[in-house]
Amino acid sequence: MNARSRFLFASIVFLSLGLTVGSAEAKDVEGSLDHPMISRYAGSEIIRYDDREFDEYALLTSEAKHYGGKEKNLESCRMLEGRVTKITYRAPAGRSTLEVFRNYESALKEAGFEVLFGCDDQVCGGRNFNHAVVPYDLIFGDNYEDQRYLAAVLPREEGDIFISLYVARDEGAGSAAATQLDVITTKPMESGMVTIDADAMAKGIAAEGHIAVYGIYFDTDKADIKPESKPTLDEIAKLLTSEPTLEVMVVGHTDNVGTPEYNLGLSQKRAQAVVNALSSVYGVAPTRLSNSGAGLTSPVASNRTEEGRAKNRRVELVER
């Protein structure tokens, strides 16, 4: 998307919702702003605002089947990483959730967004969805008899933009319509944190019995090995070729985002994917390889920061 297209996109969305770029309301919480590409419904006020340069986000893309928030419904989510902006609006009195929702829906579609999932009321999953899409509070909590939701994406070379739009009746504010607009701008993953070759792997295994490898990449929440992992897989295969008696266990590790059970399963699938690639692509004898998943149980850094979580998402080679 070129600069002119981006300007037109922003103008379309703002015009469709009845505001111009940069408009704000006197009652907005201090420090809050409309997202630079998506405006508010005319006359709304910002009552909550959070903007993070880089974070993780679970985007609901299907019905919430379980009670207990997003952590209990990860199978219904698409995991994203990037800049995350969360804005809560309260619409003017007398505006229905349908009117507010349709304005956003029309503007997003006109701007080229592709709808990934949409639902309303009980079709979303009723109370389960209400307690998952937004953390439980007095603004949205238990107002699932009049809820509407849309997840959408605008593909771009410089980073896709994902939208989570949730509109529900705020019974605690004179039945005004409340809107939760979350905008996630994805960023390409940086190249490997550690460059490691076959010799370094051999020395690490000889000294410690195992070595962490950071050059094997997976899409968030998936076990498919990405093409940019090839240089690291090449080095692992080179190690195993140069030391024909070496047998290793491939162990997958995750950060702490999600439940322990979910992360354990994901780490096992990723370890299995590495073993499969070494056997099928590089011809390493399956008898020399095994796999296991440790999930989030063996962190090497704090999970409180993105940098720490990135270090914990790794594959280790353990000598058998």
CB 273 within 8 A of CB 225: yes
- Max CA distance (Å), the chain: 75
**Nearest in space to 149 (alpha carbons), one of 163, 138, 170, 128:** 163
Helix, strand, or coil (residue 224): coil
Q: For position 138, what pLDDT does the model report?
A: 64
Please say if the pLDDT value at position 22 is more than 60.
Answer: no
Percentage above 90 pLDDT, the chain: 48
Q: What is the mean pLDDT of residues 275-296?
A: 95
CB 162 within 8 A of CB 170: no
Residues 215, 219, 224, 227: is their CA dihedral positive or negative?
negative
Which domains are present in the chain? 3-186 (no CATH), 198-319 (3.30.1330.60)
Give the position of tokens 């238990």.
142
- Tell me the per-residue pLDDT of 108-167, one tens digit each, with 9 for 90 and over: 998 899 999 999 887 888 888 888 888 777 677 667 678 899 999 998 777 789 999 999
Tokens matching residue 97 = 């959730």
- Tell me the per-residue pLDDT of 235-245, one tens digit each, with 9 for 90 and over: 999 999 999 99
- Tell me the per-residue pLDDT of 214-236, one tens digit each, with 9 for 90 and over: 889 887 778 999 888 898 999 99
Tokens matching residue 250 = 């491939």
CB 106 within 8 A of CB 123: no
**Rounded distance, CA 32 to CA 46, Å?**
7
- Tell me the per-residue pLDDT of 51-84, one tens digit each, with 9 for 90 and over: 998 888 999 999 888 888 888 888 889 989 889 9
